[in-house]
Amino acid sequence: MKKIIISILLFLTLTLQVNAVDVMPSMVSLSNTNTIGVYQVSNPVVLRAAPDENSPIIKVVKWDDSKIEPSDLKFSEVFVILIKSKGLALMAVTDETEDWVELLYNNETGERGWMKKDDPLKFSTWYNFYSMYGRKYGLYILTGAPDAAREMRGSTEDSSKIIAEINTPVKINLNVIRGNWMLLSVMDLDKIPKTGYVRWRSDDGVKYLFPAIK
């Protein structure tokens, strides 16, 4: 009887792990940084070779709680963010027109295709995305970020004086975005509040911080 109970518990645990396919970036990505924002996609995603309804379909991406199709893709390759509890499925955008967006459907290889917008309001530039979600949830520092992502300066210049450093942050609040810089208010484990400008991305688009969406 005990073996049966243990087997059931293991099955349930594995099932929960399989279903836990939520995606959030954890590491700095040095590839495919030439994106302009994100688009909130619906299921399935039909991608064409060009922004034209007569253009051939090159990929159809669909998913459920445990798997994604085509099977050679991974959730983390397709989505910038996937949080089922919030209904968020965001893919990176490399180009757009009035009616279409070009989406990365493989963040590792750079493969992309065009999808017709079902709602223009679902497109968000990186500035608007960070302004909305960064202000609401705060930010976290991505693994692999350079020291610049922890150096708080008095102005938006690399040569300006370092006035504080982010060590072990409990909360990083976004106040203002100015180009590649953010004015942040930070509370470290030492509980001493700090405010200053931090580089949130490099000049060529490599992101060091990301909204801590929960």
Q: Give the pLDDT confidence of 56-108 residue by residue, as tens digits.
A: 999 999 999 889 999 999 999 999 999 999 889 999 999 999 999 999 999 98
Look up the domain containing 49 and give its range.
22-118
Mean pLDDT value across residues 139-146 = 97
5 belongs to a structural domain: no
Phi, psi for residue 49 in degrees, rounded to 5: -70, -25
Our CA angle for 129, 30, 196, nearest 5°, is: 55
Residue 1 lies in a domain: no
Do residues 90 and 136 both lie within one domain? no
Domain boundary among 118, 137, 159: 118
Note the pLDDT tens digit of each residue in 117-126.
Answer: 999 999 999 9
Domain shared by 53 and 109, yes or no: yes
Give the number of domains in the chain: 2
Tokens, residue 47:
């991608």
Amino acid identity, residue 182? M
Q: Is residue 13 part of a domain?
A: no
35 and 91 share one domain: yes
Residue 4: pLDDT over 80: no
Rounded to two decimals, the pTM is 0.87
d(CA 111, CA 108): 8
How far is C-alpha 199 from the chain's CA centre?
17
Q: Looking at the chain, list the stretches that DSSP marks H as alpha helix, in order from N- to C-terminal side.
A: 2-19, 75-78, 126-129, 135-137
Structure tokens at 124: 């968000």
Task: For residues 85 and 152, state if they share a domain.
Answer: no
Q: What is the pLDDT of residue 214?
A: 87
Out of 60, 84, 118, a domain closes at: 118
Q: What backbone torsions phi and psi does residue 106 show, to the nearest 5 degrees?
A: -145, 100
Under DSSP, the state recorded for 92 is: E
Same domain, 111 and 27: yes
Q: Both tokens of residue 213?
A: 């969406």
The CATH number given to whatever domain includes residue 186 is 2.30.30
How do residues 188-205 score in pLDDT, each as one tens digit?
A: 988 889 999 999 999 999
| Residues 156, 83: Cα–Cα separation, whole Å | 33
| Residue at 39 is within a domain | yes
Same domain for 198 and 149 = yes
